[in-house]
Structure 1
Amino acid sequence: MLVHHDNPARAGMLARMGSLQQAAYTRPIEYQEGRAHGLRAIEVKNGPLRFMSMADRALDIAQIEYRGENLTFLSKPGLNGRNQFDTNGLEAQRSIMGGLFFTCGFENICAPYVTPEGSKYPAGSYPMHGRIRTTPAEHVSSDAYWDGDDRYVLQVSGEMREAELFGENMVLRRSITSVYGEPRITVEDEVTNESFRTEPLMWMYHCNVGWPLLDEGAEVVIPSRKATPRDATTAADGTPWNEIGAPVDNRPESVYLHELVADKDGRGFAGVVNRRLGLGLMIEFDAADFPYFMEWKSMGSGDYVVGLEPSNSSVLGRGWHEERGDLHTLAPQTSERKTLTFTVIEGDEAIDALIARRDALLGA
């Protein structure tokens, strides 16, 4: 059947450029030097929005730019592929890049953990933030296609397997989608327990905002009913959790556990806005999927970043959940799905609308 493409959205674009790759594309790439040598990735350009999905690191999104401005944090080691220290306790910090987000789990999130003697769970040693974030993707695909005549879709997908002989066999299927003309990225994930025993499923998205979006005068926007400091160091931090100051040499990190207020549709959100730049970054999610939400605020020079962390488990760690008896688990041959959306906020009006949305939920 012949289909006529006469919609101005499609025909208008095709009339104005020789190749649509002037405006939008997905493109497999491979880095050539340093710690990133051999690292496979998918570069996605959606008009002014450009990002990299790391095929060798769970398809997590490392770099993201909007109109040439960086939005995320890249840690001191920079981009890096697989390393011998990826999953060695605290040494895993040498391979944490930051990025728009990295996926934490599934046997553990946050601090390294060793199962104590007498535990009802199998013996194990679990690195900081788990192993899934360093797992290379298989069945990787990327595409750019018309969905009808008015939606040009950019999509990346693949599968990651966290598995061990005589141990877990957890499979993450991931799809990352962005539509041309919309400054938005949607991550749709499904985790399946392909083993024959119930497995822990600790699952957190570590979303990271960096300079220049994060700078003195920026604001963290969270509809938080209550913010509880994780520890004494955080409790001693006299700076409000939502205020961003200039970097301070050797300043310790602060971590807050927030009680989020969801909207009437059950949606939760959080973001960082910078009025000087006229930009912000917002994440949205189904609040029921993420009963925990943490804020990582690191104002130290060289480690200047704010992390927004929707999670099904607490930053207090696996041991805390085991002691309480509420460690989240997944039954054999069953699946869980989660969706996370990132949206670039542009202009004073959009920033005002985001803040008004927060204030309405808090009754301000």
Structure 2
Amino acid sequence: MKIKPLVAALTLVAPLYATAAEFTLTDTATNTYVENWEITNQKLGFGNIPFSIEKVRLHGGKQEGVDIIVIKNGELEVTLVPTRGMGIFDVKKDGKRVLGWDSPVKEIVNPAYIDLESRNGLGWLDGFNEMMVRCGYEWTGHPGVDDNGQLLSLHGRVQNTPSSTIKVIISDEAPHTITVEGEVSERTFKKAELVTKTSFSITPGENSFSLNDILTNKSDYDDEYQIIYHSNFGSPILEKGAKVYAAASEISPFNSYAGKGLKDWQTYLGPTKGYDEMVYNLKPVADKSGNTLAVLHNKAGNLGVSMQYNTSQLPVLTIWKNTDTLQQGYVTGIEPGTSYAYNTKFQRPLGLVPTIHAGESKHFDLTYTVLSSSAEVDSAVKDVNKLLNGKKVQQVHEPIVDLSKVQ
């Protein structure tokens, strides 16, 4: 496995507009909305690798009114959720889930049923069941009262904000890259005016996909922003003996409880009743272009996932180990971000609450790859070790924030 420059994903998308099939499915500015829609390579006259894109509206229960987009590229099947911040629900291969997890939340919940401030700011959990959740952008991290007295709910608002636009763009030229764009806005009078253009790209026949997001401050004033790409994996990858690798110089526990498992941070237990979550803060190392890598694989080492991202955009990494019972949600998170999972007020002194100037844009680029064989897993792990350059991840036993003194 070779680490590819992330800018390549951007150059793939840019030329599409000159020679591409483009479909607008939602646009609030023109009151455009297409409820159910489908396109295939046959309908477009593309006879190479078969692919399809389908938009469906869900009905019943708390999923009433939720839109999903299912993309089949001949290798993977990816379900996007425009109603929930353009998140990714799951990824399947050969009809079986490979990326995703089993949450106690069984429906894809419409944000209309979510009260983010319930349970002292933990209401976000009422809809948490996706493989990839954007946390931010106005704030992220654990809930708590900020220095100005405002309650900051868990992981921000973006994942519970429906996309104002949905466009599907398919290149006319082989290999017919498929791009789904959305626009998620966090606009509040006298507060934030942050607009994120989300972009999901996948090429027919390939086992990877990319996110290329652009956050823009539309306000006339500078603002803070935070983002965590909360990427969550359960079975079949997560199991007893599964292992995580990350190119990092240092790891520390989020709190004293996580410190108990620090020496075994790379390996996973099976479903364990009474296991509370253990969270770890990592400082990534990267190549000369800023690209770095994290890998998770099953016990046998023949199935896994890699995540590539850029440390100039996403300078820190969180690993969340939640190996509770299957019913409670057996899951781990690999989470690149601008910030760790502490409440915002604890991260400002760490320099992890960046500023976005008026009119400025910030880019976030990630590539996920499904690893379907021992050779692919081994190659990805070797890439991590190459970035480590013979050095071990240093274990720091004290949390970078002493929560016992601030709570």
Partner Cα separation in structure 2 for residue 211 and residue 287 of structure 1: 28
2:100 paired residue among 72, 79, 103: 72
The aligned counterpart of 1:107 is: 138
Question: Does residue 43 of the first structure (1) align with residue 70 of the second (2)?
Answer: yes
1:303 paired residue among 329, 332, 337: 329
Shift of 1:19: 8.1
Give SS of 1:105's match. strand
The aligned counterpart of 1:7 is: none
The aligned counterpart of 2:122 is: 90
- Shift of the 193–19 alpha-carbon distance from structure 1 to 2, 3 Å rule, reads closer
Ranges in structure 1 where 5+ consecutive residues have no aligned partner: 1-12
Question: Does residue 26 of the first structure (1) align with residue 53 of the second (2)?
Answer: yes
Contact 2:344 2:353 (C-alpha < 8 Å) held by counterparts: yes
Contact 2:49 2:205 (C-alpha < 8 Å) held by counterparts: no
After TM superposition, the structure 1 = structure 2 runs for residues 340-359 of structure 1, keeping only pairs within 5 Å, are: 340-359=366-385
Letter in 1 for 2:222: T
The aligned counterpart of 1:224 is: 248
The aligned counterpart of 1:9 is: none
- Percent identity over the alignment is 24
- Shift of the 26–144 alpha-carbon distance from structure 1 to 2, 3 Å rule, reads farther
Shift of 1:223: 1.8
1:243 paired residue among 237, 251, 267: 267
Question: Does residue 172 of the first structure (1) align with residue 196 of the second (2)?
Answer: yes
Give SS of 2:276's match. coil
Report the TM-score, using the length of structure 1 for normalisation: 0.88
Partner Cα separation in structure 1 for residue 47 and residue 353 of structure 2: 48
Report the TM-score, using the length of structure 2 for normalisation: 0.79
Partner Cα separation in structure 2 for residue 341 and residue 330 of structure 1: 24
- Shift of the 155–20 alpha-carbon distance from structure 1 to 2, 3 Å rule, reads farther
Letter in 1 for 2:182: G
After TM superposition, the structure 1 = structure 2 runs for residues 279-318 of structure 1, keeping only pairs within 5 Å, are: 279-301=303-325, 302-318=328-344
Letter in 2 for 1:268: T
Partner Cα separation in structure 1 for residue 68 and residue 48 of structure 2: 18
Shift of 1:91: 2.1
Letter in 1 for 2:57: E
- Shift of the 91–180 alpha-carbon distance from structure 1 to 2, 3 Å rule, reads same
The aligned counterpart of 2:90 is: 63
Question: Does residue 129 of the first structure (1) align with residue 155 of the second (2)?
Answer: yes
The aligned counterpart of 2:357 is: 331
Residue deviations 1:178-198, cap 9 Å, x none?
A: 001111111110111111221
Letter in 2 for 1:42: I
Letter in 1 for 2:103: S
Give SS of 2:84's match. coil
The aligned counterpart of 2:178 is: 154
Give SS of 1:341's match. strand
Aligned residues: 343
- Shift of the 240–180 alpha-carbon distance from structure 1 to 2, 3 Å rule, reads same
- Shift of the 135–237 alpha-carbon distance from structure 1 to 2, 3 Å rule, reads same
Partner Cα separation in structure 1 for residue 160 and residue 111 of structure 2: 7
Structure 1 stretch displaced more, 65-74 or 128-137? 65-74
- Shift of the 267–354 alpha-carbon distance from structure 1 to 2, 3 Å rule, reads same
Give SS of 2:185's match. strand
Letter in 2 for 1:100: M
Contact 1:26 1:155 (C-alpha < 8 Å) held by counterparts: no
Shift of 1:20: 6.0
After TM superposition, the structure 1 = structure 2 runs for residues 233-272 of structure 1, keeping only pairs within 5 Å, are: 233-237=257-261, 240-272=264-296
Give SS of 2:114's match. coil
Partner Cα separation in structure 2 for residue 45 and residue 207 of structure 1: 20
Give SS of 1:356's match. helix
Partner Cα separation in structure 2 for residue 356 and residue 347 of structure 1: 14
- Shift of the 274–35 alpha-carbon distance from structure 1 to 2, 3 Å rule, reads same
Letter in 2 for 1:317: N
Ranges in structure 2 where 5+ consecutive residues have no aligned partner: 1-39, 391-407
Contact 1:154 1:178 (C-alpha < 8 Å) held by counterparts: yes
Contact 1:25 1:154 (C-alpha < 8 Å) held by counterparts: no
Contact 1:137 1:160 (C-alpha < 8 Å) held by counterparts: yes
